[in-house]
Amino acid sequence: MKKTALLFAGQGAQSVGMGQDLSERFPRARALLDRANHALGYDLASICFGGPEAELTKTENAQPGIFLVSWVAFQLLRERVPEFEFQGTAGLSLGEFTALSAAGVMSFEDGLKVVRQRGQFMQEACDQTQGSMAALIGVDEPAARAICDEAGVELANLNCPGQIVISGDRQKIVNACEIAKTKGAKRALPLSVAGAYHSRLMRSAQPKLENALREVLLAPPAVPVIGNVTALPHQSPAEIRARLVEQVTGSVRWEDSMRYLIDHGFSQFIELGPGTALSGFMKRIDKTVTVSNISDVPSLEATASVLNS
């Protein structure tokens, strides 16, 4: 039997209309959306379905929205494939919370609420700073680190071979892009984001998130959950809290996380939530593994058909 890992989407995957066809087709999805609205005290589902885009893109809405749609995809997979089992999880940035919830570390409602709070705290940090991010295409990690050191910015996401995201002060990011072009980068693209995620400019969010996580009951993971900061499985609830706080300013070591899973026998990966970014990363990390995704009704049916065969 193939060892299967679930991968959960991160911020930037959001799009107006996400989850709507799943809600219209499956009562289970509608029930989860209603539970989410009740837990949060506002109609998150309507923002996911109808936006407007500016409202959905706000960090405090995008993060719980992606968590919610990812969770719906996960639960519908279990409903459509009753015998389905998975042996590990991972999630990109906020997706790490979804991955932990899928592994039984926190409840759906607790995960949703703390992700909403995380989004609010990070938005507050964005409002207090002048931060930005950029994607460097065609450079390896040593070259990216040298660019960051020269420009005074930080590595945010080590996504896959040839794609690294940097983060920091807005003007320094502009300078870093210019430096990257002189050092052989194929492209250096500023990203349309609210601030400098996964950099020291997010530090003000850390004590707030730490306090919020103290109110959340955490259990040991039922399956290995690979942490963004360490690219290793999470351990005790206390360690999980510490790593989630550290992750706010730390680098997301996504490629290393995927290579850990592959090195430990995982050969089937299912991306859950809006978009297909994680599937794209995996195809550049290792073309020999099986990758599928669930973001809407057609992709759910296609993945369920393969798994049930």
* Domain 3-127+200-308 top-level CATH class: alpha beta
Q: How far apart are CA 286 and CA 272, in angstroms?
A: 19
Beta bridge partners of 160: 163
How many angstroms separate the Cα of 87 from the Cα of each of 1, 94, 266?
A: 11, 20, 8
| pLDDT surpassing 90 at residue 180 | yes
pLDDT the model gives residue 222: 97
Token digits for 140?
């390896």
93 catalytically annotated: yes
Distance CA 120, CA 300 (A): 31
pLDDT, tens digit, 9 for 90 and up, residues 231-286: 999 999 999 999 999 999 999 999 999 999 999 999 999 999 999 999 999 999 99
pLDDT at 309: 86
Residues 99/105, Cβ–Cβ less than 8 Å: no
Average pLDDT rounded to a whole number, residues 14-23: 96
Q: Chain-wide mean pLDDT for the chain?
A: 96
| Burial (0-12, 13-18, 19+ Cβ within 10 Å), 210 | middle
The domains of the chain are located at 3-127+200-308, 130-190
* pLDDT, tens digit (0-9, with 9 covering 90-100), for 51-100: 999 999 999 999 999 999 999 999 999 999 999 999 999 999 999 999 99
For 22, 82, 177, 184, 271, the CA distances from 281, given in Å and listed in that order, are 25, 28, 22, 21, 11
pLDDT of 157 > 90? The answer is yes
pTM reported for the whole predicted model: 0.96
Angle between helices 141-151 and 170-182 (to 10 degrees): 130
**Are domains 3-127+200-308 and 130-190 of this chain identical in fold?**
no
The active-site residue, picked from 23, 70, 93, 101, is: 93
Backbone angles phi, psi at 156, to 5 degrees: -100, -50
- Are the C-beta atoms of residues 105 and 225 closer than 8 Å to each other? yes
| CATH class of the structural domain 130-190 | alpha beta
Q: 23, 70, 132, 198: which one is catalytic?
A: 198
For the residues of 206-232, what is the DSSP string, one character each? HHHHHHHHHTS-----SS-EE-TTTSS
For residue 203, the one-letter residue type is R
Buried b (16+ CB within 10 A) or exposed e, 17-28: ebbbbbbeebeb
198 among known catalytic residues: yes
DSSP 252: B
Distance CA 276, CA 253 (A): 18
pLDDT given for residue 289 in this prediction: 98
